[in-house]
Structure 1
Amino acid sequence: MATQDLMNVYFDIIARILEMLGVSAIIAGAAFALFEVVRNLVRGWDGQKIFDLFRTRLAKSILIGVEFLIAADIVGTVIIEPSLDSLGTLAMIVLIRTFLSFTLEVEIEGRWPWQRGRNRHEDD
């Protein structure tokens, strides 16, 4: 087997591991968020507070998962299959997943990312 073929096999394995980590992060985060819902229901917490916490926990796990999936796409597309078509496909996938990450971040924080610094100084 040629060195390039062997490298492609290794990078393909790395891309698949990153994909599994991404999916695992989403599944584990969802399971943890659901566990917290049940625990907080038993404790008698307010339903709105439980719902808000669930959404935040779930969104954070999705964000982490998406980051792993983007990394897997980069490794799989750029290193294993370097072509203009695959690069265009990667650009679209990264654009969509970045938009998803951005909107989830806004959902979690409750403000635009560029407002973060201003709010920090207002709290001081």
Structure 2
Amino acid sequence: MDSVLIDVIHWITRAIELTGTGIIVSGAGAALLKFLGQVFKGALDERAVGGFRSNLGEAILLGLEFLVAADIINTIAIQPTLQSLAVLAGIVLIRTFLSFSLEVEIKGRWPWQRETGKHRDT
């Protein structure tokens, strides 16, 4: 593959990785600020803690989507070896497990289950 094209793809994957990391960091910060605002108002209860965990989990999930996308692009376009494919498979398995775990934690149901009409206020 052309060296310039590899460099461009490398920079694109790096930008996607930085976006994913930024989403996790900014989402965690926003969730923490919202939670601390509720704490200072004296509204520290189970609902506030649940909202914090939900907001934090959603930020992590979205950031992980970007990080996995960057890994997929990197594996397919730059390093298409069996070893890099095995590493990608491991990352995708871990990410899938995390996604399912966070989905159950946030929404109280498996991703394939229909919503029951009860919503957790965040």
Question: Could you state the TM-score of these two structures normalised by the residue count of structure 1?
Answer: 0.87
Provide the residue aligned with 2:92 in structure 1.
Answer: 94
Aligned residue number for residue 105 of structure 1: 103
Structure 1 residue 47: Cα displacement: 2.1
CA offset digits 1:36-94 (Å, max 9, x no partner): 01211232214211111100000000000100000010011111111122111111111
Runs of 4+ in 1 over 2 A off after TM superposition: none
Equivalent of 1:26, from 20, 24, 27? Answer: 24
Please give the residue correspondences for 1:10-89 in structure 2 after superposition, counting only pairs within 5 Å: 10-89=8-87
Amino acid at match of 2:55: R
Task: Give the helix-richer structure, 1 or 2.
Answer: 1
* Structure 2 Cα separation of the partners of residues 13 and 40 of structure 1: 40
Any idea what SS the aligned residue of 1:113 has?
coil
1:7 has 2:1 as partner = no
Q: Point out where structure 1 has 5 or more consecutive residues left out of the alignment.
A: none
**Structure 2 unaligned regions, length at least 5:** 118-122
Q: Which has the larger radius of gyration?
A: 1
Name the % identity.
45
